[in-house]
Structure 1
């Protein structure tokens, strides 16, 4: 398995009212949605989106998702989700997503997602192609997707 140096892609998003629970903080299950959104936007920045994989007869599936919480996020907070690929194996790769409050820089949560490469039609496990491995390890450093509507200087 190859270890990658962190090269982050960032996604900015604003917490919506409907994502909060009765305690007035983001409901725990929403963090999986945030992680998935960040992973999707990372792939879009990296290869143009998942369609680029399926056009090659490949796809990937989540086989493990772990989330650790450090502090709550609340309605109208702006979160910065930093994404990088931390490991690439023969048939799998791991994304690390660190979430922090964009304004205070306080850590909010982190997610680790393990994906397995599969055939897009049969869903049988496939090796991660060498070219895709290199692209994953290169990352999308310095790129930001701004869904929060904030001005970046």
Structure 2
């Protein structure tokens, strides 16, 4: 018997013309932007306004980003980023993202991004506070945020 996971956090957005290359597909470097935009929505959902993190003299910095492409995305496609927490260590954490084309669910790409928790005033890494660790562990199952303007019909 396989364990059923809660549905992941989902963020939808539409591919813009300027994000495509001469072959008419999303330029590979844009996936870094897509990861950043999706993770910002995820972090906002978990922690509230990002300023709340900064007000605690805390911030996160990227230390690793890996993207694996599976299929091309094109102009005007709606992509759905699905995010789940990966490893949560002492000072760092990893998020796993999958980008699916909305409508047919085709897997376009997946990515792993690792952040280190820092104290900006010292520019030094610090342990992840227990409250933040708890929020990361809980995630945001079932939350859907859309910037795509699609007709949402959830069942």
1:45-124 equivalences in 2 (<5 Å): 45-124=45-124
Alpha-carbon distance between aligned partners in 2 of 1:6 and 1:119, rounded to the nearest angstrom: 32
Q: Which consecutive segments of 4 or more residues in structure 1 shift more than 6 A? A: none
In the TM superposition, residue 50 of structure 1 has moved relative to its aligned partner by 2.2
In the TM superposition, residue 146 of structure 1 has moved relative to its aligned partner by 0.5
The two structures have a TM-score, normalised by structure 1, of: 0.94
Gaps of 5+ in 1: none
Alpha-carbon distance between aligned partners in 1 of 2:40 and 2:109, rounded to the nearest angstrom: 18
Aligned residues: 149
In the TM superposition, residue 49 of structure 1 has moved relative to its aligned partner by 3.3
Alpha-carbon distance between aligned partners in 1 of 2:11 and 2:146, rounded to the nearest angstrom: 6
Gaps of 5+ in 2: none
The two structures have a TM-score, normalised by structure 2, of: 0.93
Q: Report the RMSD for the aligned CA atoms in angstroms.
A: 1.1
